[in-house]
Amino acid sequence: MKEIMPSVDLAEYQLLGVNWMAGNKIGGMNVNGILADEMGLGNTTPQPTSERRPHLIVVPASVLSNWMNEFKKFAPHMNVVKYYGTQNERQEIQEDMRRWLPGSKVKDPLDVVLTTFSYFSSEKGDDRSFLRKFKFDYLVVDEGHTLKNPKGLRYKNLNKFSSTHRLLLTGTPVQNSPKELMSLLCFLMPLFDTKAKSSKRKGEYDDDGDGNDGGERMLEYFVHLEGGGAGSDETAYRKLKQLFAPFVLRRKKDDVLSQIMPPKTRKVELVPMDEATQSTYDSILANHVKSKASIDFVKQKHLFTELRKAANHPLLLRTRHLDEADTDKLAHLLMKYGYFGYEDSLTLKKVTEELEKFSDYDVHCAAVTLIEENPERQPHLEQYTLLVDDLFCSPKFVRLRTLLPELVGKGHRILLFSQWTRVLDLMHNLLESLDMKFMRLDGSTAVNERQEMIDTFTEDSSIPIFLLSTRAGGMGLNLTAADVCILHDLDFNPFNDRQAEDRCHRIGQKKPVTILKMVTRGTVDEAIYSLQERKERMNEAIMDEKGAKKKNDDNEAIVEIMKGAVDQYLKSPKKASAKASSATKSETIKII
């Protein structure tokens, strides 16, 4: 180990991980595996080997720069090629890499090709065709849980790559169901898949990537996915643990906490509904109940999303400027002032149709944008703008207006997450009104700018808050300069939220970390939080030694949550008249 990375002093658990990977190669066993250490335990440390064949490492674009920095820091002598850029830049990289193609004799062999998922997630295969010319020793996939769908392009395209070994790095190998784990195992060991086929070279895998029927049948042996008798899940989880034990190494932070970092405390910030938000929330349910019509799942999911928006911020809905005359006036103004451009094909009908999709906040933003372009428009558009109190009227924002200054005043630095960019826009307005410095990273942030932003936040302590989208900012980033993480809204998948919170609770953190989950009381928020708890118990049953409840499919969960929301609405004393005039409980169940 010291010969390969002489400047590295690994913690004891990390050294055990290296030995585990090395042990899988002893005697030509060629056993692949999942390094499933809990997030934040340093899986990004370069995976060293004494083999001189190159290794292919595939990572999310958001952490590409971080991986390169880790190689420069821990293994500066290794030849690492970052395969990423525009088409012209990649062509130049290919020309440079040709000197390392099999059969060539160079004094400085290629060690690592570092690239991103994007070249494996599309139909276009020029980049993959070039990379397949190399004989790779290890195929390493960071955030390996993203390979949970064997029918997806990413899974199929990566599965076609020949390599002596495959290694997945993920802190959350099981997120929603045991099916996901079997997909990962079939990717690692194609012998589980009846469609797999061995290549001519012993120990190399070259699957056609069309699925994992063998894994499906094997999983059916362990667990009835659509039900089962009492205790069947616990028995299945125990058998699954026995099946994948040789392939998975997992250490939890609790097990090695004393070696690496301070503790993490999780808290639920339950916020009460105000009268206006409650009225908006109830009106959505009332309109649904009064319709007395059966609705399909697509409409039901839309209704559920409406309730989520009401629980998070009423301005994400359209509750203002709804009468026909008002809408017609706004459409004429947007068309007149070129908000959607001045193309000849643009008609008033198209503008009106687009306007129907706008939320109250979208209308506000459109009006503000046009006024900023030309202040003389203000008399015509001012009625469509919102007051400051309107912008921050949600129960969660009311709490944030006092909570954020309190935390910053005590010297804390904060990561503030949301799944919705429109909520991030509203947070942007909130922080400006509070005169707080902040940074923002979401899916629209250029990949080559992300690491620079992270470095700026880390080095500049005068910036107390970092706004991030849960998906773009919640994977692989190192933000240990913060010690508080606030999740404004919760994901159906608790491990997406766990990814987000572990941006600050990871190696390098010096302070105790506090995680705050914001939940609006008496709404679907509470049901989503309960669903998260159930999924985490399932994960613990498979990955750890704890019990778990039956797994819940997300679609079934939405139906269950909607039933609960409508029942709660009908049981409320204030809704007695609605109950009498619209639908009975049995009718409501039929509607759901």
The answer, yes or no, to whether residue 389 has pLDDT greater than 50, is yes
The answer, yes or no, to whether residue 224 has pLDDT greater than 70, is no
Give the confidence band of 437 by pLDDT, cuts at 50, 70, 90: very high
The pLDDT, as a whole number, for residue 212 is 52
pLDDT tens digit string along 492-515? 888 888 888 888 988 788 999 999
**Mean pLDDT taken over the chain:** 79
Give the confidence band of 303 by pLDDT, cuts at 50, 70, 90: confident
Q: Which fold, 12-255? A: Rossmann fold (3.40.50)
Strands 33-35 and 484-487: unpaired
The pLDDT, as a whole number, for residue 105 is 77
Q: Which CATH class is domain 262-275+411-422+429-577?
A: alpha beta
pLDDT tens digit string along 184-195? 888 887 655 544
The answer, yes or no, to whether residue 569 has pLDDT greater than 90, is no
The pLDDT, as a whole number, for residue 196 is 40
Q: Which two tokens stand for residue 483?
A: 């010690």
Give the confidence band of 134 by pLDDT, cuts at 50, 70, 90: very high
The pLDDT, as a whole number, for residue 206 is 45
- In the chain, list all ranges with CATH 3.40.50.300: 262-275+411-422+429-577
Q: Which residue has the higher pLDDT, 390 or 246?
A: 390
The mean pLDDT of 523-538, rounded to a whole number, is 86
pLDDT tens digit string along 145-157? 888 888 899 999 9
The pLDDT, as a whole number, for residue 208 is 46
The answer, yes or no, to whether residue 272 has pLDDT greater than 50, is yes
Q: Are 395 and 520 in contact (CB under 8 A)?
A: yes
The pLDDT, as a whole number, for residue 579 is 44
pLDDT tens digit string along 102-111? 878 777 889 9
The answer, yes or no, to whether residue 313 has pLDDT greater than 50, is yes
> Could you give the CA distance from residue 413 to residue 590 in angstroms, rounded to a whole number?
49
Quote the percentage of the chain above a pLDDT of 70: 69
Burial of 160-173, coded b for 16+ CB within 10 Å and e otherwise, reads: bbbbbbbbbbbbbb
The answer, yes or no, to whether residue 377 has pLDDT greater than 70, is yes
29-33, 320-324, 349-353, 404-408: segment of lowest average pLDDT? 29-33
The answer, yes or no, to whether residue 582 has pLDDT greater than 90, is no
Query: If you write DSSP's letter for every residue of 51-93 in order, what string do you get?
Result: --S-EEEEE-GGGHHHHHHHHHHH-TTS-EEEE-S-HHHHHHH
The answer, yes or no, to whether residue 293 has pLDDT greater than 70, is no
> Could you give the CA distance from residue 33 to residue 184 in angstroms, rounded to a whole number?
9
The pLDDT, as a whole number, for residue 584 is 33
pLDDT tens digit string along 53-62? 899 999 988 8
Q: Which residue has the higher pLDDT, 198 or 189?
A: 189
For the chain, what is the total number of helices (H) and then of strands (E)?
A: 24, 13
Q: Are 483 and 504 in contact (CB under 8 A)?
A: yes
The mean pLDDT of 111-124, rounded to a whole number, is 92
The pLDDT, as a whole number, for residue 371 is 96
Q: Which residue has the higher pLDDT, 135 or 549?
A: 135
Residue 408 φ/ψ, nearest 5 degrees: -65, -40
The answer, yes or no, to whether residue 381 has pLDDT greater than 70, is yes
Residue identified by tokens 């919170």 is 501
Question: What is the dihedral sign for C-alpha 532, 536, 542, 547?
Answer: negative
Give the confidence band of 588 by pLDDT, cuts at 50, 70, 90: very low
The pLDDT, as a whole number, for residue 110 is 92
Residue 253 CB partners (closer than 8 Å, separation 6+): 38, 40, 41, 260, 261, 264, 505
- In the chain, list all ranges with CATH 3.40.50.10810: 12-255
The pLDDT, as a whole number, for residue 74 is 82
> Could you give the CA distance from residue 183 to residue 181 in angstroms, rounded to a whole number?
5
Q: Which residue has the higher pLDDT, 332 or 558?
A: 332
> Could you give the CA distance from residue 222 to residue 238 in angstroms, rounded to a whole number?
9
Angle (CA) 242-246-250 rounded to 5° is 90
- DSSP annotation of 534: H
The mean pLDDT of 471-494, rounded to a whole number, is 87
The pLDDT, as a whole number, for residue 542 is 65
The answer, yes or no, to whether residue 590 has pLDDT greater than 80, is no
Residue 483 CB partners (closer than 8 Å, separation 6+): 412, 413, 504, 509, 511, 512, 513, 514
State the alpha helices, DSSP H only, in 134-261: 153-159, 178-188, 213-222, 232-244, 253-260
